Amino acid sequence: MPITAVNTDPEALTLTVVADFTVPVRRLWDAYLDPRQIERFWGPPEYPATFLRHDAFPGGLTNYYMTGPEGDRSHGYWEWVAVDEPRAFEVRDGFSHDDGTPNAEMPSMRMVFEFAETALGSRLTTTTHFSSLEELEQLQGMGMVEGMSAAMGQIDAVVEDLASFAAGRGTELQLIGENQARTSRIVRGTVEQVWRAHHDPDLLRRWQLGPDGWTMPICEVGTEPGQRHRSGWENSADGQRFGFTGVVQEIAPPHRSVSTEAMWTLEDPDAANSPETINELTLTPVEGGTLVSLLITYPDSATREMILSTGMVDGMEASYARLENEVIAA
């Protein structure tokens, strides 16, 4: 069990949990900032967590839910206040409704996570600040300390797994719920480099091509909410063409962008002729480069299955490899 101390201070209205690990600070830090990793230990074993959004930058937002043995879900959120990589971050933690909006009827807390190097590895000190003694006692009564202890007891297995989340792995796919999918890939480059590669038309034409043999004659990028984006590819061998269009919904350079996406036809390039998806791109600095996470929300499970069966993930991997080799390494 990594927890070495738990201290409740009724006067300061704080709950402090100290945990020690035999891994470097960077490894522990990345486990908290990578949604694939934190969802393996944020919830107790009987209530595993699923992270739908995990921004890890000031002003960002995290949305997650924990699923109980009977399929019941408990939703929560973080509002990111400050990030001092890789030493500390601060969030406002609270309960949320099923749609991710904060539940004002439940307490919210300020949580500070501090990472420090030790002789044997690293130490994480988590300090939760409550608004009142009543809220502190309420959360304690709900089993907060026991829940944190059970959850943090899973961290060792995650941080000791050096292979599953390391740079050099290909694009990975995770199915979430009935109609979502998340692809993940560490790209060897800085967040700023990877962001620019996703939003500079000249760079996009060099790497976002999928398998060899395709070109990208159409590349119109949206950089502000409400702007339309449009991309079109052509196969050099047989002239086959297809494209996507959509509208930017949110954008927070160089970390996050959200846009709609649907295919367009050659007869009417401005009209969509396929089910529309919502694509949420998040870039997070990690050891070895930038974690590129893309959460795709489909209209339904059938549409998800249809699109994923086209070889989409393989095409993404070919593109990301080209991004590393031809754009960032240039």
The answer for 179, left when phi > 0, alpha when psi is -120 to 50, beta otherwise, is alpha
The answer for 95, left when phi > 0, alpha when psi is -120 to 50, beta otherwise, is beta
Separation between Cα atoms, residue 251 and residue 62, nearest integer Å: 16
State pLDDT tens for residues 134-177: 998 988 888 888 888 888 889 999 999 988 898 889 999 999 99
The highest-level CATH class for domain 3-159 is alpha beta
Tokens representing 46? 């009987």
Separation between Cα atoms, residue 186 and residue 172, nearest integer Å: 10
- Which candidate, 92, 101, 53, places its Cα nearest to that of 257? 53
Percent of all residues in the chain with a pLDDT value above 70, rounded to a whole number? 97
* Phi, psi at 319, each rounded to 5°: -70, -45
Separation between Cα atoms, residue 62 and residue 201, nearest integer Å: 30
Of the candidate CATH numbers 3.40.50.300, 3.30.70.1710, 2.60.40.10, 3.30.530.20, the domain formed by 172-328 belongs to 3.30.530.20
State pLDDT tens for residues 255-270: 999 999 998 865 565 5
Instruction: Say if residue 274's pLDDT is above 80.
Output: no
Separation between Cα atoms, residue 216 and residue 236, nearest integer Å: 10
Give the three-state DSSP class for 275: coil
For the residues 279-301, what does the mean pLDDT come to? 97
Separation between Cα atoms, residue 152 and residue 158, nearest integer Å: 10
CATH 3.30.530.20 positions along the chain are 3-159, 172-328
Q: Which helix (H) or strand (E) holds 111?
A: strand 108-117
State pLDDT tens for residues 94-109: 999 998 899 999 989 9
Burial track 86-113 (b if 16+ CB lie within 10 A, e otherwise): beebbbbbbebeeebebeeeebbbbbbb
Instruction: Say if residue 2's pLDDT is above 70.
Output: yes
Overall residue count recorded for the chain in this entry: 330
For the residues 58-75, what does the mean pLDDT come to? 95
pTM: 0.94
Give the three-state DSSP class for 313: helix
Percent of all residues in the chain with a pLDDT value above 90, rounded to a whole number? 81
Residue 270: the pLDDT is 57
Edge-first strand order for the sheet with 289-297 is 172-176, 180-187, 289-297, 277-286, 256-264, 241-252, 228-235, 214-220
Separation between Cα atoms, residue 285 and residue 30, nearest integer Å: 8
* Phi, psi at 9, each rounded to 5°: -120, 95
